[in-house]
Amino acid sequence: MKKLILSFIAFVLILSLIQSAEAQNPLSAFVQNLQSGAISNSIANFGKDTVFLWYTTVGGELNPVYENQRRVLDSLLFFIIFFVIVRYAIKKVWPDLEKGPKEMLSLGVGIVLTISFVATRISIGFLLPYMKNIAFFGIALLIAFIINKFTNKENKPGGWITSIFIALAVSWLLMNAFNFFESKPISAIGGIFNSEKQTDIRARIIAGGDSVVTADPKINYELALGAVQKFDYETAKTHFEKVIVAGPANNPYFDKTAQWITIKGGDKLYRHMARHYPKIIAAEREAAEILIDKAEKLTAKDDKTQAKRNELLLQAKKYADDVIDKQTLLEIEIKKREAEIRKREAERQGAPQ
């Protein structure tokens, strides 16, 4: 346990140092990133990029790109769960049964139940949004068990109740530790785990287009979701439109796509755009200003310096142009929805169009 705790502390410190190259020393780096939320975000992103990668979602749906990997992991996890449950049940029901038959029966029933669950496309991923709450109760039970073991050796019910209440309080403090430091709202329990795996806006300022050309609805739907993850909403719209063009016949992605790019269907793509474009625009504008400042500080003493200056100004222009494009696109989309609202209101009141 000591090694595990020390390893976690070392891991957090490494993340802190990685997140801030400008800090004066490791201690200031740790404090700075703890206050800014960089550490907790890094830990969350580490989980999404490793442990929970196959169960990340896009627009509330499990990412179809990882469907095959999920089925393998789901099969393994369901089998372990069913095998342990069945093995325990057999031990209780038939305590005199020999070990060999117990294992074979547990194995057989576990395999059958696993196949049944995986065939219905039930995934462990449905629990992912509730991981913080699951972790909260898991930590609480562990702490309650430890407290009860040392303070309630006679195993009295009253001792268990006291241990549980203390454990719940300690767990709540642990789950909200970063909230206190980051001045975020305090969570009643553990909060909801955001399983949307999206690239950091500042690390990926300008969206990269997707060069894949295909008429396959499945591929276009997956490419569109991938573009949403990268905040590349124009590419996402292009691929979603191709899914619609393919028609509803033998196209299981038609209705799902309609939820993304039609106002009546839910307008999910626009809602994502409206939430993230202002942040991207702000980041691009700041990046352009920084590059212009760097370029202005360079004196054109030789061709190499002049080339570097021109390169910085060209990149700044790209950011500025992208800001204009995104602002224009967002304004157009807003006007579309305002027009749709006026149209619906007119229809509702029976006024002439």
pTM: 0.56
SS3 state at 232:
coil
Cα–Cα–Cα angle for 142, 146, 151, rounded to 5 degrees: 145
Instruction: Identify the band that residue 261 occupies on the pLDDT scale cut at 50, 70 and 90.
Output: confident
State the Cα–Cα distance between residues 93 and 95, nearest whole angstrom: 6
Average of pLDDT values for 8-23?
51
Structure tokens at 341: 């609202």
> 240-257 pLDDT, tens per residue?
999 999 888 888 888 888
State the Cα–Cα distance between residues 101 and 178, nearest whole angstrom: 50
**Helices 99-119, 67-93: inter-axial angle, 10-degree rounding:** 140
Residues in Cβ contact with 263 at an 8 Å cutoff, skipping those fewer than 6 apart: 270, 336, 337, 340
> 173-182 pLDDT, tens per residue?
776 665 655 5
Structure tokens at 195: 């399983």
Tell me what pLDDT residue 20 has.
Answer: 46
Instruction: Identify the band that residue 15 occupies on the pLDDT scale cut at 50, 70 and 90.
Output: low
Instruction: Identify the band that residue 56 occupies on the pLDDT scale cut at 50, 70 and 90.
Output: confident
Structure tokens at 256: 């799902």
> 266-293 pLDDT, tens per residue?
888 888 888 888 888 888 888 888 888 8
DSSP secondary-structure letter at 189? S
DSSP track, 26-38: HHHHHHHHHHHTH
- 94-109 in b/e form (b: 16+ CB < 10 A) is eeeeeeeebeeebeeb
Helices (H), 193-232: 217-229
Structure tokens at 19: 């997140």
Q: Give the residues across from 196 on adjacent strands.
A: 57
The answer, yes or no, to whether residue 99 has pLDDT greater than 50, is yes
Percent of the chain with pLDDT over 90: 2
Instruction: Identify the band that residue 29 occupies on the pLDDT scale cut at 50, 70 and 90.
Output: low
Query: Considering just the CA atoms, what is the radius of gyration of the chain in Å?
Result: 27
What's the maximum distance between 2 C-alpha atoms anywhere in the chain?
91
Place of tokens 């006024």: 351
- 34-56 in b/e form (b: 16+ CB < 10 A) is beebbbbbbebeeebeeebebbb
Instruction: Identify the band that residue 225 occupies on the pLDDT scale cut at 50, 70 and 90.
Output: confident
Q: In terms of Cα–Cα distance, which of 215, 270, 285, 275 is closest to 244? A: 215
Helices (H), the chain: 2-19, 26-36, 38-49, 67-93, 99-119, 131-151, 157-175, 177-182, 217-229, 233-245, 254-261, 268-297, 303-349
State the Cα–Cα distance between residues 242 and 25, nearest whole angstrom: 52
State the Cα–Cα distance between residues 140 and 107, nearest whole angstrom: 32
Contact of 193 with 129, CB cutoff 8 Å: yes
Please name the amino acid found at residue 105.
Answer: L
Place of tokens 């001045």: 183
Burial class (CB within 10 angstroms; exposed 0-12, middle 13-18, buried 19+) of 194: middle
